[in-house]
Amino acid sequence: MSSSVVAETEEQKYEQFMERINRGEQIEADDWMPEDYRNALIKLISMHGISEIMGALPEKEWVPKAPSIQRKLGIMAKVQDEMGHGQLLLRVAEDLLKPTGKTRDGIMQDLFTGKLKFHNVFHMPAPSWGDAGLIGWLVDGAAIITQTNMLNSSYAPYSRALHRICAEEVFHAQHGESIIMALAEGTEEQREMVQDAVTRWWESLLLFFGPPSSQVGKSKQDITIKYKIRPKTNEELRQAFLTKYVPRILSLGLEIPDPTIRFDEEKQEWIYQQPDWSKLKEIMKNNGPKSQERLNLRRVSYENNAWVREALGQIS
Amino acid sequence: MGSNEFFQEFEVFSKKTSKAAFQHQFSLLAPNAEMAMVMAQENFLRREPVADIWVVNRKEIRGLNYEEKQMLNRLDNKEYRTTKGYGYLKKKWRHYEQQMLDEKEILSWGEK
């Protein structure tokens, strides 16, 4: 070990912390960590956890309407997984929040007041069975790209949670592919259903990865990269998504609603039409098409179930 | 009622078969051990086979902090405690046209 075992001053602690993460060591919940590291993790992981829970809402709409008993079982299992992921991630966030005294209830209140955001894709409507399939295939596909990017995150509890989550996401992606495949190989009407879903979701999928870096050293993504919470930038992740999924979408005879999209061999990158970034800003203010409706659903169920939490608290 | 006193933190351990060692799964919040047991199955054991589950209230766990963990580093020369220090015997036995009874061989006797 290059540094002394017991660090005394804040500077020494910071130095030791940076040495540890630069050596590839992972940080545990009880270890010393700088405030901005803790805050970046809290923001990232509570948003991730709440998004899992809010993401179950557009999908659960399709549980009663799934076209067969097998499909119903499949999508029910997936919705339950998403809630389970939410539980895992909220645990990780809660341990980080401990020094602040904030608890799960506080996280929920932040969601209701709009202080805590959830992912843009879960503010969107899912009007057809094609959307249910597309969410599994491409929305989960995009989520797999961002989550595998953090599998070796410098924060150990998050890394452990992501290993569990990503293993289940593989099932989700294949569940979505199976729905899409059946529709894409089906009747004209079914093919249209998939095409409509791709057209409807394309912009949201591009927005999902967040804006490309602008001022280096300032943004959230730079802090997470500096502290090795994740290695790749938003744009690198979006490019990876396009590389993996554009050929698959086209191979099914589907069209991407962007006539300009192409892979530039020289630059080795995808050239595509930028999404309307102002839409992401509106969604972040909970002004998306389904933002209020879904928040309300969550709020009502949280209030309606309060008596269960209270009743359980009496038994010990 | 504040959720502060309502929820307690439990660590969940499980094993896949009756012979396997317990493995840490993750933690969860529950108002009591009974609910923790139900939630452990719902949260972490929906797919894989499971033979046994423990839920442990975090209050009952004494762990190590970062400084204490530094004391766990082993001295580098522990050969006298391990079979590694006796590896030369293999060559010796070969000289006497005998096979070395190594760990793999000895532990296999239990299966016979």
Distances (CA, A) of A311 to A94, A108, A147, B1, B17: 23, 20, 37, 11, 35
What's the fold here for domain B3-60? Ubiquitin-like (UB roll) (3.10.20)
CA distance A235 to A94: 30
| Closest CA relative to residue A280, chosen from A38, A139, A62, A118 | A118
Q: Specify the CATH superfamily of domain A28-210+218-311.
A: Ferritin, core subunit, four-helix bundle (1.20.1260.10)
Report which DSSP code applies to A139: I
Residues 6+ apart with CB under 8 A from A285: A114
State the DSSP code for A231.
S
- Tokens 């169920």 belong to A301
Place of tokens 């879904």: A294
Alpha carbons B12 and B37: distance in angstroms, whole number: 8
Residues in contact with A134: Cβ distance below 8 Å, sequence separation at least 6, in sequence order:
A176, A180, A194, A197, A198, A201
CB distance from B70 to chain A under 8 Å? Answer: yes
Q: pTM of the entire structure? A: 0.89
Q: Which two tokens stand for residue A152?
A: 């070796």
Coil, helix or strand at residue A258? coil
Residues A116 and A125: beta-carbon distance below 8 Å: no
Partner-chain residue, chosen from B31, B42, B44, that has the shortest CB–CB distance to A312:
B31
Which positions in chain B touch A164 (Cβ < 8 Å)? 26, 44
- Reading chain A (316 residues) residue by residue, the pLDDT tens digits are 444 456 789 999 999 999 999 999 999 999 999 999 999 999 999 999 999 999 998 888 899 999 999 999 999 999 999 999 999 999 999 999 999 999 998 999 999 999 999 999 999 999 999 999 999 999 999 999 999 999 999 999 999 999 999 999 999 999 999 999 999 999 999 999 999 999 999 999 999 999 987 644 456 778 999 999 999 999 999 999 999 999 999 999 999 999 999 999 999 999 999 999 999 999 999 999 999 999 999 999 999 998 987 787 665 4
Condensed to tens digits (0 to 9), the pLDDT of residues A132-169 reads 999 999 999 999 999 999 999 999 999 999 999 999 99
What residues of B are in contact with residue A315 (Cβ under 8 Å)?
31-32, 34
Contact B70 A77 (CB under 8 A): no
Q: Rounded to an integer, what is the distance from CA A236 to the centroid of its chain?
A: 16
CA-nearest of A154, A146, A148, A157 to A223 is: A154
Q: Which residues of A touch B27 (CB under 8 A)?
A: 91, 95
Contact B31 A87 (CB under 8 A): no
Tell me the C-alpha distance between B85 and A145, whole Å.
47
Residues of CATH 3.10.20.520 domain(s) within chain B? Answer: 3-60
Domain segments of chain A: what residues? 28-210+218-311
Contact yes or no for A120/A167 (Cβ under 8 A): no
Report the C-alpha gap between A59 and B104 in whole angstroms.
Answer: 52
- The tens digit of pLDDT for each residue in B16-68 reads 999 999 999 999 999 999 999 999 999 999 998 999 999 999 999 999 988 89
Contact check, Cβ <8 Å, B66/A94: no
Q: Which positions ≥6 away from B36 have C-beta within 8 Å?
A: B8, B10, B12, B28, B30, B55
Residue of B nearest to A157 (CA): B26
Note the residue count of chain B: 112
Q: What is the rounded radius of gyration, in angstroms, for the C-alpha atoms of chain A? A: 21
Chain B interface, mutation test: which of A2, A3, A5, A95, most B Cβ atoms within 10 Å? A5
Six-digit token string for A67:
């076209």
Per-residue tokens: A156: 């150990």
